[in-house]
Amino acid sequence: MLTISNKGRLMPESPIRKLVPYAEKAKNRGVKVFHLNIGQPDIETPHSAIEAVKNSNIKVLAYSKSEGDFELRNKICDYYSKINIEINESQVIVTSGASEALLFTIGSIMDPGDEIIIPEPFYANYNGFSVANGVNIIPIFSSIDNNFELPKIQEFENLISLNTKAILICNPNNPTGYVYSYDEIKTLVEIVKKHNLFLIADEVYREFTYDNVSHTSIMQFDDIKQHAIVIDSVSKRYSMCGARIGCIISKNNEFISTAMKFAQARLSPPTLAQIASTAAMDTGEDYFDKVINEYNNRRKTLVEGLNKIPGVKVSEPKGAFYCVVELPIDNSEHFAKWLLEEYSLDNETIMVAPAAGFYSTPNIGQNQVRIAYVLNQNDLESCTNILKNGLMEYLKQ
């Protein structure tokens, strides 16, 4: 009898993408769908990145180095130098997106049955990456009631066991938009030193912070250079999600050597995407000034609109381009499907990501959704109006 692996059965569907068939059916009926479910910005990719690919004189599209092209890794080091973090090319492995970087990292430092502590809600695919490696997530709950701030140090230490190998954070956080303060990062630094754990920081949204909030990288703390692993992404930074270029950064030589085995096993990151990414790394600061200002305006538009809807609670994001929204309903997945299958306002509807998939604790986040404010302000105003009217109709049932 043919059987599917237990690991395959346990692998969760993406809360971000699993409702896509419902959205496609809505579009086929002629309904316009606003995609708030996925972090795909409409910000233009730097022109230089596109032109670099167009103007490439490559005759044979060959494999690149398993660790990534030297020129791109050198540009990544230059970028970090500008934010006062000194690394060299041997401490960087280029990956096919931050997702592959996380898969390599978990595979390199953890065995089946090991545990990793992650504040929840967290990026939904952390669940999948852990299942793929037979690793157990030990969640530490953070609440919308205090804007998802990091739990106290004692709560972390209560969860540490002999099987604990690492703490993983996303900073700025996807899905909450929370930005961990210097003091919070310092607390984590002390924990991993005391208990001899790895500290993994997914910092792909580093540039995108608001309200004069600053980002603190774990690479700023030299006393944990053997513990610290940073996950980064060119794709998010320069609105190049389809390029799928990320990287692992660490000063732990043994870890980097181990991750290289995984990099060699998958051969190499894509050549053309690296060419585009190398060119994008030369983009000036004025690009970010404009982009951050645009996201900030969108953030304000969305949060103000949501706060006007009766019964809705929204966390106020200080970074990235997401927020978690609590709705006056019991099941956000059912509501999200209903919006796509049965509801439209002036022949328009919205697609949101049910937030339960961003937790690992069962039955948490059932009345929450994640919204990505990656659309222009006019569209976001339309979206909050659709949500307001949709909720009213849904609650009448």
Q: Which domain holds residue 13?
A: 6-44+286-395
Q: Tell me the pLDDT tens digit for each residue of 101-129.
A: 999 999 999 999 999 999 999 999 999 99
For residue 169, being part of any structural domain is answered with yes
* Exposure of 59 in the CB half-sphere (CA atoms within 13 A): 0
Which of 280, 313, 343 is a domain's end point? Answer: 280
Q: What's 122's domain CATH number? A: 3.40.640.10
- Answer yes or no: do 99 and 133 share one domain: yes
- Answer yes or no: do 192 and 313 share one domain: no
For residue 263, being part of any structural domain is answered with yes
- Answer yes or no: do 270 and 308 share one domain: no
Q: Who's near 185: CB < 8 A, 6+ residues apart?
A: 171, 216, 218, 221
For the chain, 397 residues long, the average pLDDT of each consecutive 10-residue run is: 91 87 96 94 94 95 97 97 97 97 98 97 94 96 93 90 98 97 96 97 97 97 97 92 96 98 97 97 92 97 97 96 97 97 97 96 96 96 98 95
- Answer yes or no: do 275 and 305 share one domain: no
Closest CA to 235 of 370, 87, 95: 95
Longest dimension (CA), the chain: 63
For residue 360, being part of any structural domain is answered with yes
State the DSSP H helix or E strand holding residue 170, giving kind and residue range, or none if neither: strand 164-170
